[in-house]
Amino acid sequence: MSATQQSPGLSMAPPRVYVERTLALIKPEVLHKTEEIEDIICRSGFHIVRKRKVHLSPEQCSDFYSEQYGKMFFPSLTAYMSSGPIIALELARHNAIATWKELMGPSNSLKAKETHPDSLRAIYGTDDLRNAVHGSFCFTSAEREIRFMFPDETIEPVPAGTAARDYLNLFVNPTLLAGLTELCKQKPADPLV
């Protein structure tokens, strides 16, 4: 068999890459920097799936930040987030949630300036509340927040096991295939056994 031929049943299709989604919000005080922030997001390997400019009411902000209910800063947070329009972005890429959290930096912008000076919160934020951007904490919150900000859109659920299957196809199977092929070249199987 030549190098360009393919054995029957062996697919040469590129492996699928597992794409994770997360929600990003550009907060009211940096709305005028949206293009600049989006450029940084795209240069960091994200794809902007959906984008929406919205002005939430205090009640909608309370619903969105319901996990923060009861904390001392909750009233200030909902008042601030409803004080002007925001930009909601659904972002996609491999390992989106962790990558977006890293790009945002610590929630307190003053701390971010010291420990993560290249992060979005260090560059654009001014304090703990006015920290320029929001991001989903985990997969569950990302799914909930995306549905909240884009209620008319359909989100395709990721079937159970897809992430593991994609990881195997992307990283493990090519290595195994290369290793087993090399092993067969060096020590072919005995057809008489």
CA atoms of 144 and 28, how far apart (whole Å): 21
Active site (annotated) includes residue 134: yes
The per-residue b/e assignment along 120-131, b for 16 or more CB within 10 angstroms, e otherwise, is bbbbbbeebbeb
Spatial neighbors of 173 by CB under 8 A, at least 6 apart, are: 15
Supply the DSSP string of 68-124, one letter for each residue: GTTSTTHHHHHHHHTSS-EEEEEEEETTHHHHHHHHH--SSHHHHHHH-TTSHHHHH
SS3 7: coil
Q: Of 32, 55, 94, 134, which residue is the catalytic one?
A: 134
CB 55 within 8 A of CB 108: no
Active site residue ranges = 134
